[in-house]
């Protein structure tokens, strides 16, 4: 009987046989794998594993550090666990909420801590975190019967996780232990606290900001980026969720199980309608000077549907909106700038004829008639087909595009003539108190469903392009967020429950021999915590209809 297993390491292209049950950590040490930063995990047959994973079947292995997205996620989860343990020791009756990503860090709040959180409290928590890191305590993963796990969590007053386990309905539940303290995560952690050398905890608004390393240089902390408007919109929706008594996924699942999903949908949609109407009122109050509305936001934010709904609200306010597409202003293909890989960079500002766009805006705002260019994506050339546009005093121009908030896009237009809107799916609920739902995951899931339905792209296609999309957003969109006059959160409390059955069937098509398999598995694990909701109650004007179909708008 063969008592060894064949392992191929892709980091050094070396194959070797090991005894059954050898861990990934043992393989890394035996092969003397050296990365630029400490190894914290590995892809094993295209599935992410932690270093304690034991090998019983042939595997192709690639070790990773925190410069990769999965590695950084492992690092942040582990830091969050250390923060949770530190708070549990110092403030045993307090409730820690790890709420959302902002200012290149993670915002956390503390409730029932015996008063408002002050600078000294934050310093004390940070000090205790560093002590835990210095102790190099192991993160130990366990799997037990769900009832036993529920009992352990109840003893530690972690009712938010109990609710989630009950709705999930699994016989066994896995969890992590850190020196006796329990944590639940839908992804892996680093081997021990000693790996978490780079972090900081600072006072931020009424809570704390957990600072994390740069992916590009993990020995340095991310620079804090002021995002006051972004923070305000997160807090606004968090307060609204508290009023609705829906803060975590367990609350959403409970509403769905008790037949209250319809109410959740109606209230969420009513909030969107109210916010869009308010934005239209703000524009109307300045209609004498505002003639150009610029809408920007990252991929799959629902910008198109938002723009159409805003146009309706502007009409209600007595204005006459016109639309102008930035896609018309692409330069000819041979003039398109190249990225660092020598490929066309269609997301660069220089991929647009900014000067022509500005001159036509100036002419339109002066009441002149202009002939709008068109762009053929098939030939890569500009052409004209006689399509003309002219504005009168009642008109307002709506322009949507990723560069909308970049001042260079409209550098000839006075600021007082512009109203700038940033749109994104800023997920406002958590999985539980210590596991946030990243806005990037929300948008990726939307894009997977939409691309499959309308663009004939597989989940593998969409996932493979996602990191390139994210790099473009970091370069061209996020630096200008705070230029916005207002921000609009397109996320809906119920939407991931609606997307669940659609996304799952698409993700299951990703094959184990494809590099995107690990990401598909991660998202499938993520969806295992959700109760599915049918889409029949969603109104035809909803932003989510842009992705699932059934919209009354034409795109």
So what's the pLDDT on residue 358?
96
Pairing of strands 320-325, 395-400: parallel
| Mean pLDDT on 475-481 | 93
Answer yes or no: is pLDDT of 167 > 60.
Answer: yes
pLDDT band for position 547 (50/70/90)? Answer: very high
DSSP string, 353-405: -HHHHHHHHHHHHTT--EEPPEEETTTTEEE--S-EE---TTEEEEEESTTTT
Rounded percentage of the chain residues whose pLDDT exceeds 90:
84
In this predicted structure, what is the pLDDT of residue 534? 86
The superfamily CATH assigns to domain 230-548 is P-loop containing nucleotide triphosphate hydrolases (3.40.50.300)
Q: Can you give the pLDDT at residue 1? A: 56
Tens digits of residue pLDDT in 319-336 = 999 999 898 999 999 999
pLDDT at 115 over 80: no
pLDDT bin (cut points 50, 70, 90) of residue 111 is confident
Q: pLDDT band at 114, cuts 50/70/90?
A: low
Judging by DSSP bridges, how do beta strands 181-183 and 14-19 pair with one another?
A: unpaired
| Residue range 423-456, pLDDT digits in tens | 999 987 899 999 999 999 999 999 999 999 999 9
DSSP 481: G
Q: How far apart are the first and last CA of the chain?
A: 62
Q: What residue spans in the chain does CATH classification 3.40.50.300 cover?
A: 230-548
pLDDT in the model for residue 168: 84
For the stretch 398-423, pLDDT in tens is 999 889 999 999 999 999 999 999 99
Q: Give pLDDT, residue 342.
A: 86
The per-residue pLDDT for 169 is 84
The continuous run of DSSP H or E covering 87 comes out as helix 69-90
pTM: 0.93
pLDDT band at 226 (very low <50, low <70, confident <90, very high): confident
- 57-71, 523-537, 538-552: range with lowest mean pLDDT: 523-537
Lowest mean pLDDT among 68-82, 133-147, 235-249, 473-487: 235-249
Q: Is the alpha carbon torsion for 207, 213, 216, 220 positive or negative?
A: positive
**Taking all residues of the chain, what is their mean pLDDT, rounded to a whole number?**
94
The tokens describing 337, both together, are: 């700038």
- 4-65 is classed in which CATH architecture? Roll (3.10)
Residue ranges, CATH 3.10.20.30, the chain: 4-65
Per-residue pLDDT tens digits for 334-351:
999 988 888 888 889 999
Query: What pLDDT score was predicted for residue 502?
Result: 96
**404 close to 271: Cβ distance less than 8 angstroms:** no
If you average pLDDT over residues 50-72, what whole number do you get? Answer: 96
d(CA 71, CA 68): 5
Domain with CATH 3.30.980.10 in the chain: 70-229
- Among residues 82, 138, 73, the alpha carbon closest in space to that of 522 is found at 73
Rounded Cα gap, residues 88 and 546, in angstroms: 43
**What's the count of helices (H) and strands (E) in the chain, helices before strands?**
15, 25
Residue 555: other Cβ atoms inside 10 A: 8
**Best CA proximity match to 25, nearest among 54, 65, 60:** 54
- Decide if domain 70-229 falls under CATH 3.40.50.300: no
């Amino acid at each position: 009987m063969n008592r060894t297993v064949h392992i191929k390491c892709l980091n050094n292209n070396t194959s070797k046989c090991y005894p059954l049950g050898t861990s990934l950590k043992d393989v890394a040490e035996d092969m003397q794998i050296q990365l630029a930063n400490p190894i914290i995990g590995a892809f094993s047959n295209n599935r992410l594993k932690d270093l304690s994973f034991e090998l019983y079947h042939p595997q192709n292995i690639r070790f990773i550090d925190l410069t990769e997205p999965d590695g950084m996620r492992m690092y942040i989860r582990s830091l969050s666990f250390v923060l949770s343990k530190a708070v549990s020791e110092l403030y045993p009756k307090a409730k820690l909420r790890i709420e959302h990503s902002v200012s290149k860090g993670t915002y956390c709040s503390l409730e029932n801590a015996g008063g408002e959180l002050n600078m000294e409290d934050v310093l004390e928590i940070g000090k205790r975190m560093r002590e835990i890191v210095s102790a190099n305590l192991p993160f130990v993963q366990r799997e037990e019967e769900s009832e036993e796990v529920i009992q352990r969590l109840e003893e530690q007053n972690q009712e938010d996780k109990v609710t989630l386990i009950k709705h999930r309905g699994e016989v066994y539940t896995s969890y992590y232990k850190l020196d006796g303290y329990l944590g639940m995560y839908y992804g892996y952690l680093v081997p021990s606290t000693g790996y978490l050398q780079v972090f900081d905890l600072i006072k931020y608004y009424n809570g704390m900001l957990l600072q994390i390393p740069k992916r590009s240089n993990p020995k340095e902390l991310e620079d804090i980026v002021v995002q006051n408007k972004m923070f305000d919109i997160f807090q606004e929706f968090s307060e609204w969720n508290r009023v609705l008594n829906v803060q975590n996924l367990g609350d959403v699942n409970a509403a769905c199980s008790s037949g209250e999903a319809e109410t959740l949908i109606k209230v969420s949609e009513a909030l969107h309608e109210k916010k869009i109407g308010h934005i239209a009122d703000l524009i109307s109050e300045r209609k004498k000077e505002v003639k150009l509305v610029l809408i920007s936001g990252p991929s799959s934010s629902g910008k198109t549907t938002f723009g159409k709904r805003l146009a309706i609200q502007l009409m209600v306010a007595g204005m006459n909106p016109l639309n102008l597409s930035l896609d018309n202003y692409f330069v000819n293909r041979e003039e398109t700038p190249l990225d660092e890989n020598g490929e066309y960079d269609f997301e660069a500002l220089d991929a647009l004829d900014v000067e022509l766009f500005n001159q036509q805006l100036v002419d339109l705002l002066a009441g002149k008639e202009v002939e709008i260019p068109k762009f053929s994506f098939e030939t890569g050339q500009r052409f004209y087909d006689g399509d003309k546009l002219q504005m009168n005093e009642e008109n307002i121009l709506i322009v949507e595009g990723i560069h909308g908030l970049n001042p260079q896009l409209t550098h000839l237009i006075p600021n007082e003539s512009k109203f700038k809107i940033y749109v994104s799916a800023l997920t406002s609920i958590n999985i539980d108190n210590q596991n946030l739902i990243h806005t990037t995951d929300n948008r990726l899931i939307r894009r997977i469903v939409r691309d499959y339905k309308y663009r004939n792209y597989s989940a593998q296609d969409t996932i493979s392009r996602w990191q390139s999309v994210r790099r473009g957003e970091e370069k061209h969109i996020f630096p200008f967020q705070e230029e916005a006059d207002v921000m609009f959160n397109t996320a809906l409390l119920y939407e991931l429950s609606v997307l669940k059955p659609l996304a799952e069937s698409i993700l299951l098509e990703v094959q184990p021999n494809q590099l995107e398999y690990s990401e598909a598995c991660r998202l499938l694990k993520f969806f295992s915590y959700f109760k599915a909701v049918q889409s029949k109650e969603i109104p035809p004007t909803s932003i989510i209809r842009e992705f699932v179909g059934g919209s009354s708008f034409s795109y």
